[in-house]
């Protein structure tokens, strides 16, 4: 049979009861403090993820027309990315006239600053079978990009901890995957109007790229 609380607590065991009650109170307070710290840590991490820079790489149809491919480096985050470099390995020219492979590697490894929404677009590959022209990179490749958060760069003890991400680009090159704007009919005459027609078709191509 259990005794009522009023009869169980006596002068002899009052100190023990107080000690146990105090310990229980401390334990409850400690658990509440740990839960609050964890919640605060989650809020801080979520805020940091929402406000950090996010640099993304992608290969898209190029501005040079059909057969060309451009590499886009874009900061889609909410803060400035500093010292943005991209390591894509070695570049071997496809032939003596390859004007892309000889400079693209150096450009990617040159540190850049990208504010939110800023991007850089460079030629990545070019292949036209009708004129036998090939240049740049025409196969899938992994690129590792690293960059600093503008806020971290101000703190010397965290400056050596950049964000890194690896992207596989160029894994779906070809007109069967990416749509291209229609250029219009080919001029059949050799008069001066043919040049105007060609200019309008080129303009149509670039307007189509802006809508991509």
pLDDT tens for residues 131-141? Answer: 788 889 988 99
153, 83: one domain? yes
43, 129: one domain? no
13, 38: one domain? yes
The residue length of the chain stands at 212
Give this prediction's pTM.
0.66
111, 139: one domain? yes
CB 72 within 8 A of CB 113: no
Give me the chain's average pLDDT, please: 79
Residue with tokens 């658990």: 31
User: Which residues are paired to 123 by β-bridges?
Assistant: 70
pLDDT of residue 152: 73
116, 13: one domain? no
Domain that holds residue 210: 181-212
65, 139: one domain? yes
Provide the pairing of β-strand 81-87 with 112-114: antiparallel
Three-state secondary structure call for residue 110: coil
CB 147 within 8 A of CB 53: yes
156, 71: one domain? yes
Residue with tokens 């991007």: 119
If one compares 81 and 128, the residue with the highest pLDDT of the two is 81
150, 188: one domain? no
31, 19: one domain? yes
The CA distance from 195 to 201, in Å, is 10
143, 196: one domain? no
107, 155: one domain? yes
Query: What strands lie across the sheet with 141-149, from one edge to the other?
Result: 112-114, 81-87, 141-149, 163-169
For 60-113, the pLDDT digits (tens) are 888 887 788 999 999 999 999 999 999 999 998 888 888 898 899 999 999 999
């Amino acid at each position: 049979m259990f005794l009522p609380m009023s009869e169980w607590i006596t002068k002899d065991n009052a100190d023990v009861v107080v000690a146990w009650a105090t310990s229980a109170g401390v334990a409850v307070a400690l658990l509440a403090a740990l839960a609050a710290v964890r919640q605060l840590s989650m809020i801080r991490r979520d805020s940091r993820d929402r406000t950090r820079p996010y640099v993304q790489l992608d290969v898209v149809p190029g501005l040079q027309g059909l057969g060309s491919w451009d590499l886009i480096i874009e900061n889609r985050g909410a803060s400035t990315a500093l010292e943005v470099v991209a390591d894509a390995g070695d570049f071997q020219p496809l032939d003596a006239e390859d004007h892309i492979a000889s400079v693209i590697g150096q450009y990617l490894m040159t540190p850049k600053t990208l504010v939110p929404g800023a991007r850089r677009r460079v030629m990545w590959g070019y292949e036209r079978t009708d004129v036998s022209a090939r240049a740049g990179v025409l196969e899938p490749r992994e690129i590792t990009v690293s960059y600093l958060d503008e806020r971290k760069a101000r703190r010397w003890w965290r400056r050596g901890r950049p964000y890194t991400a690896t992207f596989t680009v160029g894994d779906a090159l070809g007109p069967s995957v990416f749509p291209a704007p229609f250029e219009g009919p080919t001029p059949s005459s050799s008069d001066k109007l043919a040049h105007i027609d060609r200019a309008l078709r080129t303009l149509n191509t670039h307007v189509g790229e802006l809508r991509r």
